[in-house]
Amino acid sequence: MFLIIDFDVLCYASIKKRPDPASTVAITSVEDVPDNPYSTDGYTAEENADWLKECWFNLLDKIEFLKEETFATEVVGYVKGDTNFRDALFATYKAKRGTQVSNARRNPFVQPLRDRLVQEGIGIKARNREADDEICIKAYECMRKGIPYVIAS
């Protein structure tokens, strides 16, 4: 079985929310979650590095889980690239996302996880298209060759 993974989804899913560093109260309800539960503010560089390491191991666990559940013998996965042909065609492509999530609320741990997947040879950076496009292309290649596959996204 060939497993094709959208690593962008797994990166986000691998990062748990953490409490405000100034608070000693455990998060027990939605009201306890700070404005940006992914912020690095208030944490030391060492604490942020430790948190990123924990996120990395969460990500690896999720990949292993998917491999086992799908009986995969081969795995390929894609992450967001630096460029996308749609940006040149449509000035408003994903423009609303910028207003929905301000830079202050973006998750600072996602890109380092993407980068490490590529550095470790686990993930492939999409080139001039979406990771989803690459996933569809790989699925089509598998289909043409008669290779059984599953997409995890």
**72 CA to centre of own chain:** 20
pTM, rounded to two decimals? 0.78
pLDDT in tens, 20-51: 666 555 545 545 445 555 667 778 888 888 98
- The rounded mean pLDDT for the chain is 82
Alpha-carbon distances of 21 from 10, 12, 34, 38, 57, rounded to whole Å: 25, 21, 10, 11, 22
pLDDT, residue 42, reads 77
Neighbours of 55 (CB within 10 A): 20
User: Residue 72 phi/psi, 5° resolution?
Assistant: -70, 135
pLDDT in tens, 89-132: 766 655 555 544 444 457 888 999 999 999 999 999 998 888 99
Provide, rounded to the nearest whole percent, the portion of the chain with pLDDT above 70. Answer: 75
> Is residue 109 exposed (0-12), middle (13-18) or buried (19+ Cβ within 10 Å)?
buried
Judged against a pLDDT cut of 50, whether residue 4 lies above it is answered with: yes
